[in-house]
Amino acid sequence: MRPFDYIDGSLSAGQVPLADIAAEVGTPAYVYSADAIEAAYREFETVLAPARICYAMKANGNLAVLRLLAGLGAGADVVSEGELRRALAAGIAPEKIVFSGVGKTDAEIEAALRDGILQINVESVPEVRSLSRIAAGLGRTASVAVRINPDVDAGTLDQISTGRKTDKFGVAWTEAPALFREAAGLPGLSMDGIAVHIGSQLGDLEPYRRAFRRVAELVRTLRADGARIRRLDLGGGFGIRYRDEIPLPLAGYARVVQEEVGGLGCEIVVEPGRRLVGPAGLLLASVVAVKETPARRFVIVDAGMNDLVRPMMYGAWHDILPLDAPPAGADYRPADVVGPVCETTDKFADRRLLPPLEAGDLIAFCEAGAYGAVMSSTYNGRPLVPEVLVRGNGFDVVRARPTFEESLALERLPDWLSGPGGQG
């Protein structure tokens, strides 16, 4: 069974009607299927064994989702101290955590070293020098992988391509040998690996092959220079279906890995994010009104760009389904699906063919488990969206919707604004 399907005419998560969740939690709300997340993880575990799976938690950092993955044996790929703290709080062992990112602060590096994580992926010469200084000062030895930029175009959206020479990420692969030679003379460093990540939402295996071929060439060069390379972090980017894409075939990916780097004798790390949680989540919303104008039909919903920004940021497509299955022969008509945020760009879909809808109807934005709640904000004074985790025939609220009072309590007025007139 798919994570979300119609049962007796009602869109459901497993055996749980989504309308029941909306009635208890309200809308907008994110809903995740624990069973779907587990099934996706098991596929990676089976197809890519014995690779180490470090979940790229920037896709979805909910603590319950992290605890679920930790229980399955996953590690984590983190890109900030905040994510590191979340991973540890969720029960992911520090020796299963990789710290990536182009702009780590000294405080973040120190935190990672004190916690004894598996590996720090460095992305520049200045970062290598900073890491050496901090590690030596703490009396620690950092296990380091150098993230290379292989100058490979992933063929995906410009905003989520990361492996071209014009992108901010990584060290040019041709310059990595010089970096390794410098690092060999610095204290506090164990230069153990190479890391690479060329982009997100890939559907084609060929860019991976080109990138991994350069990784293999570099490993051989470095070993000839005397470097000990024992770990390859191959990143993620595994594409899913949003509209008509064909999800990246994991068996094909495993074959490319084996053919290009399998003979190097290195431990392999992969960092799936979107593929584990994207299809396993959706965003519930209620129709506030349907407005007909001479030019357009607007379906106005209570979710906004602050809740799900992907359509506005990337022009991303999310299937939109009514929670009540449309009857056979329903009159599908074009409509703009828009939110309440005071921005013209607050639009989820343009001229989307939808069945008749009216105020009070419930809809779902599909494939929203990745880069949804984690990118949400309180713009326009709107509370953060609650998150719900479904397992079997039950569900739990794993992040409550803050009250307005709770949101206001985070802020403080200075003394000089505390008087009755607002001025001291």
Q: Which residues are catalytic?
A: 342
Classify residue 406 by burial, with Cβ atoms within 10 Å: 0-12, 13-18, 19+: exposed
**Distance (Å, rounded) from C-alpha 301 to C-alpha 291?**
11
- Cα separation of 119 and 166, whole Å? 26
Q: What is the distance in angstroms between the CA of the first residue and the CA of the last residue of the chain?
A: 63
In this structure, which long-range contacts are made by residues 86-90, counting pairs with CB atoms below 8 Å and at least 24 apart in sequence?
86/57, 86/61, 87/57, 88/115, 89/63, 90/63, 90/66
Peptide bond into 402 cis (omega under 30): no
| Residues 198 and 154: beta-carbon distance below 8 Å | yes
Question: d(Cα 4, Cα 390) in Å, to the nearest integer?
Answer: 11
Closest CA to 37 of 74, 11, 85: 74
CA-CA distance, 233 to 241, in Å (whole number)? Answer: 25
